Chains A and B, each alone.
Chain A
Amino acid sequence: MGYSKDQLLARLKELQIDFSQYEHPVVLNVEAQAKYVGNMGGALSKNLFLKDKKHRYYIVSALADTKVDMKVLSQRLGLGKGGLRMAPEEALGEILQVPLGCVTPFAVVNESASHVSLLLDKGLKTQECCFFHPLSNDMSISVNVQGLDKFLKSIGRDPSYIDLEANPLVGKDQPPDLAVLVPSGSTVLPDFPEKAPSLQDSTGNVSAGNNSASAKAVKPSVNVQNVKKKSVDGQRPSIPSADAGKFVEELLDRASALLLSEISEDSIKQHGGLLGAEVANNFRKCLTEDLKNLATIFKNTAYTEGFYAGTHYQTKRP
C-alpha cells in the first residue's frame, strides 16, 4: 500500500528534517495552492508526471516560474523531439499512489515508483524553502533543499538538480546531456489507455478540466516567450541561429505595437498634422534601449555561430 501523508510526515520528523505544514482545502493546481500558501515565504513548485514512449516515467519538480520546454527536455533525455508526454491519470494512482493534482517529489518513497526518474530544477536550490504536497493535496509542506536531499538520500535516491531552462546543443557529436537520468529499470508496465491526457495542462498538476486559470501562469510575459520560442521552434536542435528574418520581425513587432498605441483618436485630435513628428520622437525615446538590446543579441549570436564554426572546422574534414 502506498505511503500516507502521516507516514511521510513521521518519517521526515524521524530524519530530523525541518519543515512547516499548512493545511488547506484540496487544491488541484499551483494557482489554487498559491491562494493558500503563496505568501508564506516559501517558493511554490510545479510538479509534472511524464512518460516516454517506452513506458518509462519521470517526475519533474520545478519552481513555479521555471519554464519547462517538453520538446527540449525530451531531446536532452535522448528521447527525440516528441518523446515526452504527460502521463495518464491512472498512472498517478498506480505508480505514484497519489491523487489527482498531487504530483510531488516525495512520491518516490513508494515502492511502485522506484523506477520513476526524478528531475529536480536547480532553481529549487536558490530558494530558502519550497512548497510540496506531502502525498496529499489538502496540505502543503515547505522544506529547504537540504531537507529534500536528506529525505531522498535516505530512500536510496541520489538527487540530481538540472538547469531546466538550458537549451544545449544535441547532435551527432553532442550526446543528450540528461540521458543518464532515463530510468534503466527492466520493469515493463502495461500501457494505460490514453483517455486522459487532455485533462493535464502544461503547468503541471492535473487540473480538473479548467485550463484557463492555469494557462495564465505559463505566460509571464509575451515578449520573453516569443524570443525563446523563436529561437527553439523549427530549427536544428539548440543553436539559436542569428536569423535576420526573425530579427527584423521582432523589431517590426515592437515598432508596430508602439505605433498602434501612439495613434489613437485622441492623439490625432491632440497633434493633428504634427502627430508624425511626435510619434517619431516617442519611437526614439521608448524603443532605443529595446532595439539596441535585440541588435546586440543578434550580433553576439552571429559571432558565436561564426566562432563555433571556426573552431570546429578541422574536425569535419575526412
Chain B
Amino acid sequence: MEKKEDNQQEEEQVVNPWEVSGKDGGKIDYDKLIDKFGCQKLDQSFIDRVERLTSRPPHVFLRRGVFFAHRDFNEILDAYERGDKFYLYTGRGPSSEALHLGHLVPFMFTKYLQDAFKVPLVIQLTDDEKCMWKNLSVEESQRLARENAKDIIACGFDISRTFIFSDFDYVGGAFYKNMVKVAKCVTYNKAVGIFGFTGEDHIGKVSFPPVQAAPSFPSSFPHLFSGKDDLLCLIPCAIDQDPYFRMTRDVAPRIGYHKPALIEASFFPALQGETGKMSASDPNSAIYVTDSAKDINYKVNKHAYTGGQESMEKHRQYGANLEVDIPIKYLSFFLEDDAELEHIKKDYGAGRMLTGEVKKRLIEVLTELVERHRTARAAVTDETVDAFMAVRPLPNMFD
C-alpha cells in the first residue's frame, strides 16, 4: 500500500494519506499540489474576511500561510454572515502514544476556529483504521485512542461544544446508515483509483473510506444535530487527507447532502529539514509534547537543520539561507508576534543575527508551548475523557 505509487511516479511528488514525499526527495511543491488536487488557494482576502467576521486577529497559522488551501470556505463564510451556522469536523489516527508538535497543528487551528466562530466540533479517532493499517490489536488501538484523546483535549477544546468519538465505540445506527449510503456510491474501481488498493489489500481497508466520510454529514450525529440536516460542515485537516474528502464531496449531492468544506494545511517539517522524515522511531526528528525543557534545548541545538553559514565570517557576509532554515520555519508556525518574526528574518537573512540566537528564541517559544500543553494534559483524567466521549446533548453548542 505504502510504496505503490513509486514506480510510476518517480518523477513526481507523492501526496496521499499514507505517503508524503517530494519530487526526487526534495521539497513539496504546494502550488502544483493545489493544481493537481483541484482545490483553491486561500488568499489574503479570505484572511481579512475571517478577521472581520470574527472580530479578532486571525490565527497565526492563517497569517503565515500554514493553512493555505481550501474547498468552499467562502460558502461557509457566506452562510456564517447570513446567520447560518456550521460545525467543525477533524480527526486523528491514533497510531502511537507519542504526539509531536506536527500532530498538534490541525488541533490548535481547529480550537481557534471553534472559539472564533463559536461552533460545535466533532473529533473522530480512527482506531479501526490504525488497527487495520498498522496491524495493532483492537484493544491496543482503543487504548491509544483514549491516550491520544487526552492530548487532544489538552489543546483546549470547549467541553460544552465538543464531541470526541472513536470508531470502535460509535460506528452504528445513523452513522452506519450514512456509511452505507456513501459506500453504495463508490465503485471498487473508483476506490482503487483514489486510494491505490490492490488485490493483496484486505477488505477492511477497502471498506474504510466511508468511515472517514460519514462525519461530514450532520445526520450521522442524531444526538447533536437532529432536525438540522442543512447544517454545513467545515473540515480542517492536512492536505494529504484531501483524497478522502474529494470522494466525499463527489458522493454528497448524489445522496442529497451538502458537500463538506475543507481548509487544508501544509506539512510540518521534520527537525532535520524539509527533506527529512518525521518518524516515531527517531525521537530527534521532532519535538514531542512529553519533551522536557532540556530535551527541547538539546534537540533544537543539536538536530535542527539550519541555513546558517559554516563560519561566523561567512555568515556575517552572506547571511542565512531562510529557505531551508528549520528554526525560522518553526518560528513562523509558533511565534505569535508578526513584527518580531519579520525582524528576526531580516537580521538573520542579512547575517546580523546568528543561528544560536535564533535557536535560543525558538527554544523559548517551544518550551512555553510544551509547558502549557503539559499543564493542561496533567489535568485531564479518564473521567474527563469519558465526558468528552459521552453521547450526550450539547445544548449551548452555537452560543
Which residue numbers of A lie inside 8 Å of B, CB to CB?
A: 65, 122-123, 125-128, 165-169, 220-221, 223-224, 227-228, 231, 238-240, 289-290, 292-294, 296-297, 299-301, 303-304, 307-308, 311
Contact = CB atoms under 8 A, between A and B. Distances in A.
Contacts of B390: 307, 311
Contact of B293 (A123, A169, A220, A228): A220
B177 interface: no
B378 interface: yes
A175 B218 CA distance: 40
Contacts of B392: 307
B379 A303 contact: no
A227 B378 contact: yes
A297 B158 CA distance: 9
Interface of B: 96-98, 153, 156-160, 281-283, 290, 292-295, 371-372, 374-376, 378-384, 386-387, 390, 392
B86 to A, nearest CB: 22
A240 B376 CA distance: 12
Given A126-B98, A220-B294, A224-B374, A293 B156 contact: yes
A301 B371 contact: no
Nearest to B367: A221
Nearest to B160: A303
Closest 10 CB pairs of A and B: A307-B387, A304-B387, A304-B384, A300-B159, A297-B379, A296-B156, A303-B159, A220-B292, A228-B378, A126-B98
B378 A296 contact: no
B116 to A, nearest CB: 13
B281 A297 contact: no
B378 A224 contact: yes
B379 A240 contact: yes
Nearest to B374: A224
Contacts of B283: 127-128
Nearest to A222: B371
Contacts of A292: 156
Given A128-B281, A300-B153, A307-B390, A293 B375 contact: yes
B59 to A, nearest CB: 12
Which of A168, A169, A307, A308 has the most chain B CB atoms inside 10 A of its CB?
A307
A59 to B, nearest CB: 23
Contact of A239 (B153, B290, B374, B381): B381
Given A227-B378, A299-B158, A221 B387 contact: no
B381 A168 contact: yes
27 contacts: A65-B295, A123-B290, A127-B283, A166-B382, A220-B294, A221-B374, A223-B371, A223-B375, A224-B375, A224-B378, A227-B378, A228-B378, A231-B378, A231-B379, A239-B383, A293-B156, A296-B156, A296-B376, A297-B379, A299-B160, A300-B153, A300-B380, A301-B379, A303-B387, A304-B384, A307-B387, A308-B383
A264 to B, nearest CB: 20
Contacts of A231: 378-379
Contacts of A166: 382
Nearest to B115: A292
B17 to A, nearest CB: 24
Nearest to B380: A300
A125 B143 CA distance: 14
B383 A289 contact: no
Contacts of A304: 159, 381, 383-384, 386-387
Nearest to B147: A163
Which of B96, B290, B292, B381 has the most chain A CB atoms inside 10 A of its CB?
B381
Contacts of A228: 378
A239 B387 CA distance: 13
B371 A227 contact: no
A297 B387 contact: no
A167 B97 CA distance: 18
Nearest to A240: B379
Contacts of A165: 378
Given A299-B160, A307-B383, 8 more contacts: A127-B283, A221-B293, A221-B374, A239-B383, A240-B381, A299-B159, A300-B384, A307-B390
Which of A127, A223, A239, A304 has the most chain B CB atoms inside 10 A of its CB?
A304
Contacts of B159: 299-300, 303-304
Contacts of A128: 281-283
Contacts of B387: 300, 303-304, 307-308
A292 B375 CA distance: 12
A308 to B, nearest CB: 5
B277 to A, nearest CB: 15
Given A65-B292, A126-B98, A224-B378, A290 B372 contact: yes
B226 to A, nearest CB: 21
A304 B158 CA distance: 12
B293 A296 contact: no
A303 B294 CA distance: 35
